[in-house]
Structure formats: structure tokens, C-alpha cells
Amino acid sequence: MTSFFTREESDSVQLATPSRAKVSRHAGLEMYQLEEYRPPPLPTDDVLPRRAKFDLPEGFCGVLFWLLRVVGLIAWTYLVCKYGWDLSIDSVINPVRHEISFTIFVICHVLFVIQTLLVEPFACLRALAAIVVCVILFCGWLLTLICWSSYHAQQQPYRCENMPDKFPVYVQLHLNQGEFKMGMWTNAASVYVNDKQLWQVSYEEKFGRVHTFLSAEYLHRSGNGLSQKITAWPGNTAVSDIWTNFSSGADGSDGTITGTCGGRPCLQGKFWMTPNLRFDFRYTNPETHETKSKTIASDEGKWFFTRHQPLVSLCDGNGKEVFRAQSTNVVCSAGDGNYETSLVPLGLILLAERKFIILEG
């Protein structure tokens, strides 16, 4: 039999609900959860592909610095040779004007050579080939120095007598003459014009005056056998006799100079020896009677004529070198092309030469 429940009874009956386990709110995301990310290890040099790399070799900077010093040594060697031969250069290492400075300069150069080419390679380099190279460089430097010295001793390119374009006249002084020490020098010097011997110069010193004069003429033979003299020298108008008188003047001059051209008066002037050597003179052409004033002087501070042979360079008002005494037995003149007054300083130079010979003797 079918039973029925009324609405009120059905409302009072509660149906039991099924029980469910408590679920986390993140439970649905677990399917999307990833494992912890761990980056792969960086590749090492063994793994990387080989690429061209430039690495400085061991000791490269030291070798480069040594090579730079070798280059500097070459320049230093050139300066030693140049200043040792060319005495006309006005410098603090001039071997005559500054003897101590030049000596120190040379000693430092030698020590630098030994330290750079011998001591340092043997102390720092262990490879036999490197040491051999350094020894070869040292021998090459020594051979170069010997060849350079031999060339200059033979050719003498810095000597003014080998500069005909600059000095057409030069005078060779005859040294070690016994009569010169007595104040009389018959064959004191020889005058060369365009590299040909032309005149003999005699020297006399009496009562504080120096007399320098052309005492003999050299003749030269031409191709046809005829004797002829050099025509470049103006024999009638050139100063042939010069008197150098040492008497202080009111203007501070140290002496006077007078001269004749073929026996006719043509030269008057004065000279100063301190602080610089200077000649002021007036020349009168005996044929045209044209008068010219001229000054030749040195600006080198001092000129040497005691411990060394005369060393001085005289220039005109335009700065052109006219006369040079180069601390040898040769002096050069006529740098301005003027033959007439080219021998004006010769008397004073010969006196300085005489003092040098006396001190040396």
C-alpha cells in the first residue's frame, strides 16, 4: 500500500547530504606547477670554438723598450761623431769650448752602450740566440764608429778647406817652426785660392807689432807648359801687408790694424778681443779710390787661442760667415766673396798660433 506524506511532513524530513573532504583552493593549479629552473652551466674555453686571438708575448714591453733605447743609441753615436769632428758648431758640448761637458757626454755614451748592448742582455736574456744578437749589435756599433772615424779622418768633410763654395780662400799655417818661437817666421803660412797654392806668408813680431805680409808667389804650369799664376786673386787691390798693433784705445779697443795694397796704403781699422773678437776697418781701393767700411765679429762669447789652436767664427753685418779658424792648422776666409780684405785677421791668428806653440813647447 502506498503511503503519502503530507507537505508539512515532507518539510520536516531532512535528507542527509553526502560528506566531502576539504579541498585546498590551490589544488587546481597543481597541474600547472613547473619544476625549479636551473640555468645551464656556462661553456668553458674547451667548449668554445677556437677563434684568432692576439696575445702579447711574454716580455714584449721590455723588448720594445730595449729596441727604443738602441735607436736612441744610434742617434747618440751620431751626435758624438758630429760634434767631435765639426768644431765650428756653437754648442754646450763643443769639445774645445766646453771640454768638460763633451768629456762627460762621451763617457755617458760609452757607459750607455755597455749597459744596453752587453750588461743588460747577458743579465736578463737566457736564450743563447738573443745573447748572440746583442753581441753582434755591439760589434756592429763598434765597427760603425771605426768606419765613421776613418772616413772623417780621410775625407774631413767638416773642415773649411774642403768647402770651396763657402770659403774660396784658405790659409795653411806651418807649425813647429823653431824660428817662429823667436818672433820671426819666414814661411809662416801658405795662401790657397780655389784649392791652388798661391802665396807664401811671412811673419814678424817687433816692439808689440805683428807684421804679416805676402813674401813669395807660387807659379803653376798649365797644360802647354807655360807658367802662369792664378788670376782669381786681385793682386793690385788686395791687402798684401798687414800691421797688427796692440795698443788700447779710448773706445775700449785692444789694438789697431793698418795695411797696404802693393805698397799703397789701403786699410785702417781697430779690433777687440773681449768679450768677442771683432774687427772694424775701412778699406780704400787704391785704383778706384772707393772706400768701404766693414765689420766682422764673433758672437760666441769667447774665442780660444791659449790652450787650443785658434777657434773663432767671424760674420759680417748680415750674419754671413766670412772667416773661420777651426782649431787646426788651417783658417778659411773670403766667405763673402771679398778677396781684397780676406787676410785682415791673419796677423792676430798667427800671433795666437805662436802662443799656442810656445805653450805646447
What average pLDDT score do residues 200-229 get? 78
Are 316 and 184 found together in one domain?
yes
Spell out a b/e string for 310-336, using b for 16 or more CB atoms within 10 Å of the CB, else e.
Answer: bbbbbbbeeeebbbbbbbbebbbbbbb
SS3 331: strand
Question: Could you tell me if residue 275 is inside a domain?
Answer: yes
Domain final residue pick, 137, 158, 179: 158
Tell me the HSE value of 255 on the side-chain side, using a 13 A CA sphere.
18
Are 246 and 268 found together in one domain?
yes
Q: How many domains does the chain have?
A: 2
Which residues on adjacent β-strands are paired with residue 258? 243, 268
Question: Could you tell me if residue 37 is inside a domain?
Answer: no
Are 197 and 299 found together in one domain?
yes
Q: What is the pTM of this model?
A: 0.68
Are 179 and 320 found together in one domain?
yes
At 317, the pLDDT band (50, 70, 90 cuts) reads: confident
Are 351 and 202 found together in one domain?
yes
pLDDT of residue 328: 84
Question: Could you tell me if residue 195 is inside a domain?
Answer: yes
Domain final residue pick, 141, 158, 175: 158
Are 256 and 331 found together in one domain?
yes
Q: Which residues make Cβ contacts (< 8 Å) with residue 162, sequence separation at least 6?
A: 155, 156
The rounded distance, in Å, linking the Cα atoms of 278 and 266 is 19
Are 200 and 333 found together in one domain?
yes
Domain final residue pick, 127, 158, 189: 158
What average pLDDT score do residues 122-138 get? 71
12-48 tens-digit pLDDT: 555 555 555 555 555 555 666 666 667 777 666 555 5
Dihedrals φ, ψ of 359, to 5°? -65, -40
Give the domain range for residue 312: 161-219+234-360
Question: Could you tell me if residue 211 is inside a domain?
Answer: yes
63-91 tens-digit pLDDT: 788 788 888 888 888 888 888 877 777 78
